Amino acid sequence: MTAPRDVLGRPIRDLRVSVTDRCNFRCPYCMPREIFGASHAFLPRSDVLSFEEIFRVVSVMSLLGVRKARLTGGEPLLRRDLPDLVRLLSGIGRLDDVALTTNGLLLASVAQALKDSGLHRITVSLDALDDAVFQAMTGSEAPVTQVLDGIRAARRAGLPVKINCVVQRGVNEDEILPLAEWCRGEGCTLRFIEYMDVGNHNHWQITSVVPAAEIRDKLSSRYELLPVDPAFRGEVARRYRHADGGGEIGFVSSITEPFCRDCNRARLTADGQLVTCLFASGGTDLRSVLRSGASDQEIAEFVSSVWTRRDDRYSELRSEAAARTKVEMSYVGG
Ligand SMILES: C[S@@+](CC[C@H](N)C(=O)[O-])C[C@H]1O[C@@H](n2cnc3c(N)ncnc32)[C@H](O)[C@@H]1O
Ligand code: SF4
């Protein structure tokens, strides 16, 4: 099978797999409670891909060039027996990396099982250490210590942990330095993500975005940070390291410096839509192909035909993307 390139010459390297559209948080920037409340229609179970179906897609896509699979959601740890899926995926020899993005709330009790199943690394989303700010940003009453315990359990299990922090103007700017200090002490890499205009319900405004450069300046007032060369083409974070060896901090400038040009990422939604851009209006129905009894070759041809037609660079054409209805972040998985 030949590895496809899209219209802009980009290969397919990275697959994000959303295993559920449900979540135990209601972060206002992702799943605001007024939209994702009791009356919201989540996917029926029969629409959601089974672990075997996900395994098959990832396995076929690894033949087309995918080297990294990241499990996400919604909240992936809500999916029962997730370590079983990790075990299946980590057995695909062509993958270099099987990763997980989680809000960490349920992590403490499952971290060791995830590691034992072959998970390579984990990213925990954490926007604040202060309970009041944390609860406002997650739309929950959970104590932040529950997530911190999850992170520590993952570290004890031997998993490298990255922390993702979305910074919103006037909401959690004061958390930047405390989070940096905490991550330094715990041996976690920290990444600051610019607040993005994903989905349709978070009332995003450019004035709520704290540019990565501003966050970096704030950190530089306390720490000496040295730039680190990108590890590979298409790396989304600009990385820096503490000059004294205290770990790394990265910045994802999706708004102020869009990086569509090198984007090699595909997304599989929980119900088997293949989505080629975070800012797309929808995907292509791969589940029907899977459930029609297609062979691996036919699945590969279907994926290749979607990928070779791909010309998205919506983040670079922001005003155009803003006018359209977009897929929800909790559906497509980030
Ligand atoms: C959709 S969540 C899914 C996985 C898991 N529930 C979690 O929160 O880590 C994946 C990532 O998307 C990020 N995210 C959601 N909405 C965002 C937005 N509007 N701008 C930037 N990042 C966002 C979250 O902070 C999280 O790190
Ligand atoms: S960012 Fe993650 S934790 Fe927050 S609502 Fe979205 S899916 Fe849930």
Question: What stretches of 221-279 adopt beta strand conformation (E)?
Answer: 225-227, 238-242, 248-252, 265-268, 273-275
Question: 54: burial class by Cβ within 10 Å (0-12, 13-18, 19+)?
Answer: buried
Of ligand 1's atoms, which has the minimum distance to the CA of residue 29? 19
Residues 150-180 have pLDDT tens digits of 999 999 999 999 999 999 999 999 999 999 9
Residues 47-81 have pLDDT tens digits of 999 999 999 999 999 999 999 999 999 999 999 99
Residues 196-223 have pLDDT tens digits of 988 788 888 999 999 999 999 999 999 9
Question: Across residues 108-115, what is the average pLDDT?
Answer: 98
Helix residue spans in the chain (DSSP H): 51-63, 82-90, 111-116, 131-138, 144-156, 176-186, 212-220, 286-291, 296-308, 318-322, 329-332
Give the pocket of ligand 1 (CB within 6 Å).
Answer: 23, 29-30, 72-73, 75, 101-103, 125, 164, 166, 193, 195-196, 198, 202, 329-330, 333-334
Q: For residues 152 and 311, which has the higher predicted lDDT (pLDDT)?
A: 152
| C-alpha 258 to ligand 1 mean position (Å) | 17
Q: Atom 6 of ligand 2 has which residue's CA nearest to it?
A: 30
Residue 321 has pLDDT above 60, yes or no: no
| Gap between the Cα atoms of 53 and 76, Å rounded | 16
Residue 99 has pLDDT above 60, yes or no: yes
Q: Give the range among 124-133, 240-249, 308-317 with minimum mean pLDDT.
A: 308-317
Residue 161's pLDDT is 97
Its pTM surpasses 0.85 = yes
| C-alpha 200 to ligand 1 mean position (Å) | 14
Residue 318's pLDDT is 65
Of ligand 1's atoms, which has the minimum distance to the CA of residue 25? 6
Of ligand 1's atoms, which has the minimum distance to the CA of residue 198? 19
Highest mean pLDDT among 32-36, 197-201, 285-289 belongs to 285-289
